[in-house]
Structure 1
């Protein structure tokens, strides 16, 4: 993974390097001895433990065996793979257009039973109507100067969202009231989107909570948009990248934040009232 502006990804890579360096020091080996046992040059060892070159799973297994602790290899391999997949540049993912990006999530969606989503700025993709999705994806396509396949991307998103009606899955979604007010499409499409939100909130497997803008004494500040897939992966959406979180401790932090955000939201008639107010505001 090339040097990235994501401090979390950088820190994860350095943590792996420091752990390997710690094993090296504890084993009392010189750089030459370590390289000899691993079957590579001393310079490669230096690049790995200084986080210049990411180690492959085989590199890590050789390193741990050379230091007399082969049992530590699986855990370090997992940490290294997390570090290398933590930061995924959007430009690389969307270089051929947005349709491929929509389809890339399908395997993850199919393997997930509990979806938890928080959004402060957008109606989440799972609950987007066609017109709203078109306005949003067209803006993204134009801003990023990528091939215009918006119509196909929207069709792929709508097809993907049919998962809402599949049995055996649960969707818990929390949005800030402000997300209902940002006009990312024309008034007609916005009205249709908000109307669809009312419909989706009534689905048996879907829970939609809205945090009122007038909510007093917030116990959790507005956060970046994030999606939780069961209890194994969190996807955080940034302007330049998607950050993937798989470390149990970090997932637990997002679970705590989501639980707090969910407690601040309103549901049922109170949530519907906020949506209806947002629809009425379009006509003012």
Structure 2
């Protein structure tokens, strides 16, 4: 949760993460193309739970970071996109601290979870695992994260703080 979710990243932000590694340009292009599911005719509903630290983490220079945060505000205007920020100063353990995860739910297929690590990732299909992560997502959205309006206000404030 220290990075902006890939589907919400700008090209420059994604390039800053991937650096000059072999195949980075292709991976950036693929990452940007995935955002199509949010803007197409029948968009996919997407809820992003971003750690507050991701708003401040200087992945790139101030211009790229400002553009990335402004991009978040534009994406949040899409009807199928909800952005909520998890405050950095949340006391106690909470889901997502060990590793970021994505809960993927479908109309006509079983749900799955994608768990990320530094050099590997895994998809979990077991119903008990998916149920546990579904509960983790519920806890984060309903009990830990700021509401969408408050989250967008914070993003706007960070833009002002970091560009003045």
- Regarding TM over 0.5, the answer is yes
Tell me which of 202, 226, 245 is aligned to 2:101. 226
Alpha-carbon distance, 1:190 to partner: 0.5
Deviations 1:59-103 (A, max 9, x none): xxxxxxxxxxxxxxxxxxxxxxxxxxxxxxxxxxxxxxxxxxxxx
Residue 99 of structure 1: aligned partner: none
Quick check: 1:238 aligned with 2:117? yes
SS in 2 for 1:276: helix
RMSD: 1.9
Residue 187 of structure 1: aligned partner: 62
CA distance in 2, matches of 1:261, 1:268: 13
SS in 2 for 1:282: helix
Residue 198 of structure 1: aligned partner: 73
Alpha-carbon distance, 1:219 to partner: 6.8
Map 1:1-284 → 2, pairs under 5 A? 120-138=1-19, 141=21, 147=22, 149-166=23-40, 167-215=42-90, 217=91, 220-223=94-97, 224-230=99-105, 231-263=110-142, 264-283=144-163
Deviations 1:169-208 (A, max 9, x none): 2111111111111111111111000000011111100111
Q: Which runs of 4+ in 1 moved over 4 A?
A: none
Q: Which has the greater radius of gyration? A: 1
Superposition TM-score, scaled by structure 2 size: 0.86
Alpha-carbon distance, 1:222 to partner: 4.3
Superposition TM-score, scaled by structure 1 size: 0.51
Q: Aligned residues, how many?
A: 157
- Change in Cα spacing, 1:191 to 1:277, as seen in structure 2 (3 Å) is same
CA distance in 2, matches of 1:123, 1:227: 13
Residue segments in structure 1 that go unaligned for 5+ positions in a row? 1-119, 142-146
CA distance in 2, matches of 1:184, 1:123: 10
